[in-house]
């Protein structure tokens, strides 16, 4: 039977047994320690359980003795999943053979890093070199501490982390694989750990909790040479679940918030991801919408400055303009709207990406506004109000100090200092050490202004 047909019949059988048991998909997800989205994909025929242990767990939960036995369900589902004859009793030797882990000699190196953007990566060569050096890729040194990349939302941390994973030197230096996890504000830690386990032939489904999964992964990977990339960390307590590498491995985290970076990797082992240069920004924009840049270079440079060289803003603007390239007059109008800061015109904050993003619900568009807003939402109500009021200072290159903030917020100097500290911790503000003053990215200032008009 062709795999697609087997997958369809598997989902039909699973739906039948689930309905016969009178249980819900959410219940099955909880009982088998799987996410509801994964069970939904089983039921729709999009995918099926990855191993026999998962099917055994399903059969045990859906059995309704004596109408449908566990053995009956197990035989039927395994028959469809693996395309083997189970007309008689399913021998335990058959299950063992199916479930047998891939041997070390035949298993390919794990590579879980998502693909790089089709338009390329611009302006990060120097930082990539610095990361490679910090990860000690040219050294046999053991027990190298974790490294963290930190920067505001939309600055390009994820793209940079992907770039690290795709380096030839990384693939060569870590023969046992490059592991990837994208977390977000509300991560499914158990699912990520089980995915890592499956990648090395380790079944974690039966484990009691995340701590047990981590312990088994740590034991299995202790002697391996692998790179673990954990992207978009929002809680330093989550980091421990992914510290599974042994002395020969390396771990790279990305986060928006400096305190988290310093907690998991120390300040000395934290690299700040900065805005792109003007040259790199223009090249990024040109890779997306060459017609616009080549026909109106001056306004293309103005757009880079308007977006203050933020990679995500440039990417979304470039895609929008590229979509209108066949109607030049429309493309020109959109460009002018993006450059016009007057109210009523198209705000760059409304630029939308098609890709999903952790922390932004499915019914909410993944706009630049929403991406930046994830950090603002972590502020207290008082600090959110003060963030909105800080819009009076504008964005870079305008700088301000604690006294000016205290005057605008009508609070004491000490209270203003605490709020500014909170802004810094959330990656919403930067400190200029040379002047001792503070500055906010222009798009964050625009977002603050939007909030301010609603107060």
CATH (one of 3.20.20.140, 3.40.50.300, 3.30.930.10, 1.10.10.10) for 110-272:
3.40.50.300
How is domain 368-452 classified at the CATH fold level? Arc Repressor Mutant, subunit A (1.10.10)
pLDDT tens across 399-412, in order? 999 999 999 999 99
Give yes or no for residue 104 having a pLDDT over 70.
no
Give yes or no for residue 2 having a pLDDT over 80.
no
| pLDDT level of residue 97 (50, 70, 90 thresholds) | very low
Give yes or no for residue 306 having a pLDDT over 50.
yes
For residue 106, the model assigns a pLDDT of: 39
Burial of 298 (0-12, 13-18, 19+ CB in 10 A): exposed
For residue 48, the model assigns a pLDDT of: 74
- Locate the domains of the chain by residue range: 3-99, 110-272, 278-350, 368-452
If one looks up domain 3-99 in CATH, what number appears? 1.10.260
pLDDT, averaged across the chain: 86
Dig out the tokens for 316 from the structure: 């979304």
Give yes or no for residue 112 having a pLDDT over 50.
yes
Task: Indicate if 368-452 has the same CATH topology as 110-272.
Answer: no
Non-local (6+) Cβ contacts of 396 within 8 A are 308, 439, 440, 441, 442
| pLDDT level of residue 61 (50, 70, 90 thresholds) | confident
Torsion angle of C-alpha atoms 235, 245, 154, 331, degrees rounded to 10 = -140
Dig out the tokens for 389 from the structure: 């009021």
pLDDT tens across 19-28, in order? 888 888 888 8
For residue 342, the model assigns a pLDDT of: 57
Written as one string, the DSSP assignment of 209-221 is SHHHHHHHHHHHH
For residue 102, the model assigns a pLDDT of: 40
CA dihedral for 34, 36, 42, 48, sign (positive or negative): negative
**What does each C-alpha distance from 267 to 238, 254, 259, 368, 442 come to in angstroms?**
19, 13, 9, 28, 26
For residue 224, the model assigns a pLDDT of: 93
For residue 58, the model assigns a pLDDT of: 86
Residue 250 and residue 288: Cα distance in Å, rounded?
34
Non-local (6+) Cβ contacts of 380 within 8 A are 422
Query: Are 398 and 448 a contacting pair, CB within 8 Å?
Result: no
pLDDT tens across 229-280, in order? 999 999 999 999 999 999 999 999 999 999 999 999 999 999 999 999 999 9
Question: What is the average pLDDT across 354-380?
Answer: 84
59-73, 98-112, 214-228: least confident range: 98-112
């Amino acid at each position: 039977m062709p795999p697609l047909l087997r997958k369809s019949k598997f989902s039909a059988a699973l739906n039948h047994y689930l309905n016969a048991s009178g249980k819900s998909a959410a219940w099955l997800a909880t009982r088998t320690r799987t996410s509801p989205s994964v069970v939904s994909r089983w039921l729709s025929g999009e995918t099926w359980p990855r191993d026999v242990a998962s099917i055994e767990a399903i059969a045990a939960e859906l059995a309704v003795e004596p109408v449908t036995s566990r053995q009956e369900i197990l035989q039927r589902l395994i028959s469809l999943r693996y395309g083997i004859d189970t007309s008689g009793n399913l021998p335990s030797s058959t299950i063992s053979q199916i479930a047998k882990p891939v041997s070390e000699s035949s298993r390919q190196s794990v590579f879980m890093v998502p693909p790089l953007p089709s338009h390329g990566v611009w302006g990060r060569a120097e930082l990539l070199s610095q990361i490679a050096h910090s990860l000690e890729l040219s050294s046999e040194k053991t027990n190298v501490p974790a490294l963290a990349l930190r920067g505001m939302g939309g600055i390009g941390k994820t793209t940079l982390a992907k770039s690290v994973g795709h380096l030839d030197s990384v693939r060569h230096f870590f023969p046992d694989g490059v592991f990837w996890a994208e977390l977000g504000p509300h991560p499914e830690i158990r699912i990520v750990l089980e995915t890592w386990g499956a990648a090395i032939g380790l079944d974690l489904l039966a484990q009691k909790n995340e701590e047990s999964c981590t312990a088994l992964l740590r034991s299995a990977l202790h002697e391996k040479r692998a790179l673990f990339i954990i992207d978009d960390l929002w809680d330093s307590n989550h980091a421990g679940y992914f510290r599974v590498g042994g002395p020969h491995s390396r771990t790279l985290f990305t986060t928006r918030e400096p305190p988290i970076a310093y907690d998991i990797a120390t300040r000395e082992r934290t690299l700040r991801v900065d805005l792109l240069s003007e040259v790199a920004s223009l090249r990024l924009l040109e890779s997306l919408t060459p017609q616009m840049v080549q026909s109106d270079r001056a306004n293309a440079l103005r757009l880079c400055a308007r977006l203050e060289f933020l990679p995500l803003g440039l990417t979304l603007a470039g895609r929008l303009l590229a979509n209108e390239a066949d109607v030049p007059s429309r493309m020109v109008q959109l460009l002018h709207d993006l450059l016009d800061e007057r109210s009523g015109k198209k705000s760059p904050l409304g630029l939308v990406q098609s890709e999903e993003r952790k922390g932004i619900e499915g019914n909410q568009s993944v706009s630049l506004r929403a991406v930046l807003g994830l950090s603002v939402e972590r502020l207290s109500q008082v600090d959110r109000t003060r963030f909105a009021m800080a819009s009076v200072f504008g964005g870079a290159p305008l700088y301000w100090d604690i006294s000016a903030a205290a005057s605008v917020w009508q609070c004491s100097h000490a209270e203003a200092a605490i709020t500014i500290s909170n802004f810094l911790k959330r990656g919403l503000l930067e400190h200029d050490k040379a002047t001792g003053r503070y500055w906010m990215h222009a798009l964050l200032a625009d977002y603050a202004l939007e909030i301010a008009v609603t107060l």
